[in-house]
Structure 1
Amino acid sequence: MCGIHVALSAIPHAISPQLKQCLCNRGPDYFGQEERRVGGINSPQSWTLTFTSTVLALRGDHIAKQPLVESTSGSVLCWNGEAWRVGGHPVDGNDGEGILTLLKKASAFAPAARHDAILDVFRSVEGPFAFVYYDKPAERLIFGRDRLGRRSLLFTHDEASGTLALCSIAEASDPSWKEVEADGIYILNLAQLQQHAIPATHERAKHEWLSSDQADFISSIGTFNKSLPSANSALTALSPSVGMLKQQLLDSLRPRVLGIPQPPSTSAGETRVAMLFSGGLDCTVLARLVHDLLEPDQAVDLINVAFENPRVVAQLEKEAKGDEPIDFYEACPDRITGRKSFAELERVCPGRAFCFLAVNVPYSETLAHRRQVTSLIYPHNTEMDLSIAYALYFAARGQGSCSSPSSGRDSPQEPHTSSARVLLSGLGADELFGGYVRHATAFSRQGYPGLVDELLLDVGRLGKRNLGRDDRAMSHWGKEVRFPFLDERLVRWAIETPAWEKCDFGNGEDVTGVEAGKRVLRLLALELGMRGVAKEKKRAIQFGSRTAKMESGRVKGTTLLS
């Protein structure tokens, strides 16, 4: 994980102290800058490219100093992400350095093939990333986000000052920042720049991640399976898709949780992995599988957030009987579910040092951080954006009280700040396996054809999810969030699997007692020994943690922030 900023300007560009601090929050291990001149004595105008990178070192056995520079050509790479595989092969060591090595080899091609060879390096990456690459010999600026948009990259174009900038986060005082779309690789030909005329953003050349003439080709990853069942075939624990899902998740988790380096300035044995833990189906299955992969002596933090919502607190106090004080944090839906699932994990994972990290956020603290969170999520600026970001922001900070295995909620709670710099999220499971209410509604109205259309709509916009917003909210604390359900290979398998092998709405609630939505994942939870988790209902994070509608129950999620 890194923070990157690249500016193309008529004069050397200096980032503000506030922006520098925000970038260093994302990457606290190293800060570096490079500068290049574009144009020269034969050009009517020369331009300055200023590259800034900060580094959160999570790959390899050393801190890879950025910006990464190709010493022979002078090309520069700002890399923010994780290349789990390149060209189908696992990446050993630092992935940013590995990408630069491949770009150097691609640059050695003949001019006619060089262009596509460089693009193919980025096309071959599996994993979350955003990047800016200056191809110096060809004077091209190449940039983009991965095809699912899991890392943040913003741009701004100021015609008045003649500056084009790309950055992981927006400057708080500048309302012109926009998201770089996760729909391809963008190229700006710097050799064609005219005097004081940096092209507007829509004039950039876009190259597709992967072209295909196949219908329903999703996110440049795979073709959606629209087939319908010829007979009523029930999805059971013995169905092949249940075992395949388990294997896909283990394969996805393995590079995401193994080999994480010890954080600098911490003692040996500190926790390296934490889970964004509501206690729901998706995150708890992940936590259970992480137990199978990690060394027995490694602890795992389960971060569970609950907020003091004045509107809900007032209602609870009104309904209360007697003088006994109300613990409104423990009354939060996600706290109740979280403790239940924590107990189930303790039972099925003997010996694992899970810490149930209860993060309680007073309303006064929410207000104190409102400006910071609003600034981080920009250009997203609705009440729903803010309520979701609050939960992610305070969860990533990881400050609360810890319940260790065998201690209950009534036992003394130890203050604890998570040292983990890798956070796991269960996001993506609902879209892939039919976990939303609208999926059940679509089936009830139109059967499997309606369900297939609704699933296709959801997976088709995975790359449009607000993951850039979430990345900015959580990375502020020097943490990296990883999404096992959004591994490219798992996504490809899921969209190529028929709907009835994932969510068995044709059979309602079967003899196993689990509902049809995400049934393949619920059956896996049963196989892993977690019956209670298998029956958990879907709940949005802003309602489970009670960040939604703090002041008024009539505020709409689409209302713009003031």
Structure 2
Amino acid sequence: MYYRKMRICCIVDLLLLTLMCGIFCCAKDDTLPLSDLRERLKVANGARGPDSQETVRVEVTGSGVLDLFASELRLRGSHPVVQPHQDNEKNILCWNGEIAEDENDGVKLSRALTAVETVEECAALFGTIEGPYAFVYYQATSRRLFFARDPVGRRSLLIHKPSIANPYFLLASVSTGLDPASEFEELSTDYIFCLELGKFFEMGDLPSAFDSCLTSLPRNSTNGALYSQPTRVNTEMPPDDWPLIADLETPDYLLPAAEDLITHLGRSVELRVRDIPQPCPGAARLAVLFSGGIDCTIIAFLAHRYIPSDQPIDLLNVAFENPRKLKNQAKKQSNVIQEAYMVPDRVTGLEEVEELRKLCPRVWNFVQVNVPYEEFQASRSLVESLMFPSRTVMDLVSQLSVWPSALYFASRGKGVIRDSNSEPVPYTTPARVLLNGLGSDELLGGYGRHRSAYNTGGWKGLIDELQLEIDRIPTRNLGRDDRVIACHGKETRHPFLSLTLIDFLARLPVHLKVDPRVPPAAGDKMLLRLAARKLGLVEASSRKKRAMQFGSHSAKMDGERRGDVAIDL
């Protein structure tokens, strides 16, 4: 039997969707100046959490001080909880994440950390957390500073290590861009880091002391690799006579896998949309980044199950005015010029929202986010600052699946909605939570390189490429995208990147997920297409993948520029 039924994990991976946070931490000799960088970083990180902001200062040793700042975007609960969290032992936690509890997850985690005695116990505790996170935790009795990002890197945390020019230690969710007063880089997702802060200050020379005072700790999850790192890809090969699928009507031998994908993905969506507070009666509490592709459509379909049917769901569809394409089009069609914003993603989005309306009766607000070329240009310096330390043209406009300029305008959520027989009405989404379909291509074989890997290396080549995809997820662009979206006080959630769902899909044999022997509109992400067809999403199930920078017409608006060229900030 080629498929083994797998139970659904439902232990501590249950998420509590509580808050989004901007974190800023500074450890320095208080006799040395920090110019105005500290205040500028507070402002930048404060934009991520408009509901509350607070700073706590700790005198660690003599002139050695630690400032911990947190801003909060409250996404669950009726009672305000101000960060940083402090307990009776004077431990301090800045938490930007999601855990499975029925109360504020930062409060719950703070209590759990109070009982931690060793550095190994602290690392093991974070090995039991499924949801996305970035955190900074000061343990008062040991004068240790713990900090980390989740193993998939779904939340941003940047680090500035002490240097001769800038002899202080900084952690921040977002920087102020290229700045001579800091040298930020993305924090690695591989470990829980522990800085012996007391020793660090006592040694005096902070740049020289840093490496000797820093320890990298594996998460050592009691659940094995499930939450400490993404599960490795199953290397099982298909039998020589493995059949080709004739169409997207699910054959019996693939039915269990398709049904379990629906169950696992549905659970992941449920955990990310439940209990989101409604801004006001009749307003949307949830929005979906929506191009009309299969990934975002199946997520929107599943979200419909868990949001009350009398409440709207916003579908955010971005289109850029591209002068280069309009100019080329004018040359080819002297008499008829297509509307500037009727780009491929707008066309497929309009088609797919109609399919959703037929299958899932409710108000679906199709928000047309139209970006004039001048507005795109005016936003570039801000977007590039938010992106930092990501600094290439590819990072700005031409990224697989999502890219910062589109995310910036989509998360702002400002556009128009219209019925087929009415004039467009200005609309700005009130939703603070945005669902994103990122991850399905990496896990289910949706990229052209997966087909190329099969053509050159057979099934083994495809398996190796899928393993590379999982290995690269933590170092791709999730932190960068988090920085861009959160500047509007919004949070993006990735149902496909649940560690539980990654585990389920990684364990499935490759031939149950993708079949590069058949055309792309059937073989690429085959299992997801079968699941969509089973749910009734017929049009979405057969839609061929299109890179979103081309679907929205954001690509090459400034002419030909190589994607790895650095941007002058």
TM-score, length-normalised on structure 1?
A: 0.90
Decide whether aligned partners of structure 1 residues 219 and 464 sit closer, same or farther in structure 2, where only a CA change above 3 A counts.
farther
Offset of residue 222 of structure 1: 2.1
Q: Distance in 2 between matches of 1:492 and 1:418?
A: 33
CA shift at 1:386, angstroms?
0.8
Correspondence 1:52 to 2:69: yes
In structure 1, the residue matched to 2:412 is 397
Tell whether 2:501 aligns with 1:490: yes
Counterpart check, 1:11 vs 2:39: no
In the other structure, the counterpart of 1:530 is 537
* Counterparts of 2:440 and 2:140, CA distance in 1: 41
Counterparts of 1:503 and 1:348, CA distance in 2: 26
Q: Quote the offset at 1:321 in angstroms.
A: 3.5
CA distance in 1, matches of 2:441, 2:119: 38
Give the SS at the match of 1:473. Answer: helix
Q: Tell me, what secondary structure is at the counterpart of 2:161? A: strand
For 2:462, give the aligned amino acid. Answer: L
Letter in 2 for 1:428: G
Partners of 2:475 and 2:219 in 1: how far apart?
15
TM-score by length of 2: 0.89
Residue 102 of structure 1 corresponds to 112
Counterpart of 1:64 (choices 81, 100, 104) is 81
1:441 aligned onto 2:445: no
- The alpha-carbon distance between structure 1 residues 544 and 139, as it changes in their structure 2 partners (threshold 3 A), is same
3-state SS of 1:125 partner: coil
8 A contact 1:218–1:460 mirrored in 2: no
**Which amino acid counterpart does residue 440 of structure 1 have in structure 2?**
R
1:195-246 residue CA offsets vs partner (Å, 9 max, x unmatched): 132556655211123489x9x9997232320010123145635421100100
How far apart are residue 301 of structure 1 and its match? Answer: 0.4
Question: Is structure 2 residue 290 aligned with structure 1 residue 277?
Answer: yes
Q: Whole-Å Cα distance in 1 between the matches of residues 143 and 282 of structure 2?
A: 47
Change (3 A) 1:184 1:61: same
For the structure 1 residues 262 and 438, does the alpha-carbon distance in structure 2 shift closer, same or farther, using more than 3 Å as the test? Answer: same
Shift in Å, 1:514: 4.6
1:191-210 alignment, distance < 5 Å = 191-193=198-200, 194-198=203-207, 202-203=211-212, 204-210=214-220
Select 2:350's aligned residue among 339, 351, 360.
339
Amino acid at match of 2:304: H
For the residue of structure 2 that corresponds to 1:344, the secondary structure is: helix
Assess if the C-alpha contact under 8 Å between 2:94 and 2:135 holds in 1: yes
| One-letter amino acid of the structure 2 residue matched with residue 117 of structure 1 | E
Partner of 1:115: 119
Does 1:169 find its partner at 2:174?
A: yes
Q: Call closer, same or farther: CA 1:418–1:192 in 2, change over 3 Å.
A: same
| Partners of 1:219 and 1:463 within 8 A in 2 | no
Tell me the equivalent position of 1:124.
128
Distance 1:201 1:502, change over 3 A: farther
Supply the AA of the counterpart residue of 1:248: H
Q: Secondary structure at the match of 1:183?
A: coil
Q: 2:328 aligns with which of 311, 315, 329?
A: 315
Q: Does 1:247 align with 2:263?
A: yes
Hey, what's the Cα distance between the residues in 2 that align with 1:490 and 1:218? 11
Distance 1:504 1:495 in 2: 16
For residues 3-34 of structure 1, what are the alpha-carbon distances to aligned partners after superposition, in whole Å with 9 as ceiling and x for unaligned?
Answer: 01000000176755443332221100001000
CA displacement 1:50-93 (0-9 Å, x = unmatched): 011100001322222011111x211110111222xxxxxx3112
Where does residue 86 of structure 1 map in the other structure?
none
Kept after mapping to 2: 8 A contact 1:274/1:423:
yes
Aligned equivalents of 1:199 and 1:484: distance in 2?
42
Q: Any gaps of 5 or more consecutive residues in structure 1?
A: 41-45, 84-89, 108-113
1:138 to 142, 150, 159: 142
Q: How does 1:196-235 map to 2 (within 5 A)?
A: 196-198=205-207, 202-203=211-212, 204-210=214-220, 220-230=229-239, 231-234=241-244
CA distance in 1, matches of 2:26, 2:208: 13
Q: Please give the secondary structure, in 2, of the residue aligned with 1:134.
A: strand
Q: What is the CA–CA distance in structure 1 between the aligned matches of 2:381 and 2:324, rounded to whole Å?
A: 21
Q: Measure the CA separation in 2 of the matches of 1:106 and 1:477.
A: 35
- With over 3 angstroms needed to count, the CA separation of the structure-2 counterparts of 1:221 and 1:158, relative to structure 1, is closer
**Pairwise CA distance, 1:463:** 1.2
Partners of 2:233 and 2:466 within 8 A in 1: no
Identity %: 39
1:227–1:120: structure 2 CA closer, same or farther, 3 Å change rule?
Answer: same
Q: What residue is the counterpart of 2:10 in the other structure? A: none
1:33 lines up with 2:55 in the alignment: yes
Q: Contact 2:226 / 2:503 at 8 angstroms: preserved in 1?
A: no
Whole-angstrom CA distance in 2 between matches of 1:308 and 1:130: 36
The answer (yes or no) to whether the contact 1:147–1:209 under 8 Å persists in 2 is: no
Q: Which runs of 5+ in 2 are unaligned?
A: 1-19, 398-402
State the distance in 1 between where 2:193 and 2:551 align.
Answer: 39
Partner of 2:275: 259
- Alignment-derived partner of residue 370 in structure 2: 360
SS at match of 1:360: strand
Amino acid at match of 1:558: D
Correspondences of 1:290-309 after superposition (within 5 Å): 290-309=303-322
Question: What is the deviation of 1:132?
Answer: 0.5
> Distance in 2 between the 1:217 and 1:557 partners?
34
8 Å CA contact 1:134–1:140 kept in 2: the answer is yes
The aligned residue for residue 328 of structure 1 is 340
Give 1:559's aligned amino acid.
V
Contact 1:99 1:121 in 2 (8 A): no
Residue number in structure 1 paired with 2:15:
none
Q: How does 1:446-461 map to 2 (within 5 A)?
A: 446-461=457-472
- CA deviation after TM superposition for structure 1 residue 191, in Å: 2.6
Give secondary structure in 1 for the equivalent of 2:67. Answer: strand
Partner of residue 7, structure 2: none
Number of residues of Structure 1 aligned to a counterpart in Structure 2: 527
Aligned pairs for 1:357-506 (under 5 A) are 357-387=367-397, 388-403=403-418, 407-408=419-420, 411-506=422-517
